[in-house]
Amino acid sequence: MRLPPIPPSDLDAEQRDLFDTFTAGIAKQFRGFQTAREDGALLGPFNPWLHKPRIGRAVWELTEAVSACDTLPENARQVAILATGARYKAAYELYAHVQVARDKGLAEDKIATIAAGQRPADLSPDEAAVYDAATALNAGGVLPRPVYDRVHGPFRPRGIAELIHLVGLYAMVCTTLNGFDVPVPEQQVDPTP
């Protein structure tokens, strides 16, 4: 971990305001995985964002905007997020969204296969279209027209836009996590006296 988590008592005013925003949003949106140490210092991507509050606030606003979209069914959203986390091999992202996908009802075998970087054989047609699009976007280059059309068909322009923004957001989250070498919580050491 390249940026030490900041205990709440060490936050400056700008960081404190963002910390309060994060903790309120985390309580509302992200349950089932560890987002803070015992001393209250935030983990995951939240810690790097606190180190640069102006960027952190912008990313959080984007996260909330993308989270508020409702065109894609939840199982398809989780497939896209897990495919992105697997592509980037972002440990904390996979740790967190494996739990979220479970909570949202995605089958355990699908979760395990996607987290391992593979395409499950039993994806529904919509899940398969989303998986293929997320995988193609994460590989770089223009999204191939046949893949675009497979997502556009059931989800129309709003759904494909939502998917593209979702994959882009989580690619950025994964880049943040990997750039700062953010591990899963049990690999993060508590502060020493």
Domain presence at residue 29: yes
- How far, in Å, CA of 71 to CA of 174, rounded? 23
Domain CATH number, residue 143: 1.20.1290.10
Task: State the sign of the Cα–Cα–Cα–Cα dihedral 27, 32, 37, 38.
Answer: positive
pLDDT value for 187: 80
Domain presence at residue 191: no
How is residue 92 written in tokens? 């904390």
Q: Could you tell me if 130 and 154 lie in one domain?
A: yes
Can you name the residues that pair with 36 across neighbouring β-strands? 42
Contact between 161 and 111 under an 8 Å Cβ cutoff? The reply is: no
> Mean pLDDT throughout 13-29?
96
* Tens digits of residue pLDDT in 42-98: 999 999 999 999 999 999 999 999 999 999 999 999 999 999 999 999 999 999 999
**Angle at Cα 50 formed by Cα 60 and Cα 171, nearest 5°?**
50
- How far, in Å, CA of 170 to CA of 147, rounded? 20
147 pLDDT more than 60: yes
Q: Could you tell me if 161 and 82 lie in one domain?
A: yes
Task: State the sign of the Cα–Cα–Cα–Cα dihedral 78, 34, 89, 52.
Answer: positive
Domain presence at residue 102: yes
Q: Could you tell me if 40 and 120 lie in one domain?
A: no
pLDDT value for 31: 82
Q: Could you tell me if 106 and 24 lie in one domain?
A: no
Q: Could you tell me if 52 and 33 lie in one domain?
A: yes
Q: Could you tell me if 84 and 46 lie in one domain?
A: no
Q: Of 31-35, 104-108, 135-139, where does mean pLDDT reach its minimum?
A: 31-35
User: Is 45 strand, coil or helix?
Assistant: coil
Domain limits for position 160: 74-178
Total domain count, the chain: 2
Contact between 109 and 122 under an 8 Å Cβ cutoff? The reply is: yes
> Mean pLDDT throughout 111-117?
98
Q: Could you tell me if 94 and 111 lie in one domain?
A: yes
Q: What is the mean pLDDT of the chain?
A: 95
Q: Could you tell me if 28 and 80 lie in one domain?
A: no
Q: Could you tell me if 104 and 158 lie in one domain?
A: yes
Contact between 163 and 130 under an 8 Å Cβ cutoff? The reply is: yes
- How far, in Å, CA of 99 to CA of 111, rounded? 9
Q: Could you tell me if 82 and 173 lie in one domain?
A: yes
* Tens digits of residue pLDDT in 81-93: 999 999 999 999 9
Final residue belonging to a domain, choices 67, 90, 107: 67
Final residue belonging to a domain, choices 34, 50, 67: 67
pLDDT value for 188: 66
Domain presence at residue 90: yes
Nearest 5°: phi and psi at 36?
-150, 155
Q: Could you tell me if 159 and 81 lie in one domain?
A: yes
Q: Could you tell me if 62 and 85 lie in one domain?
A: no
Residues in the chain: 193
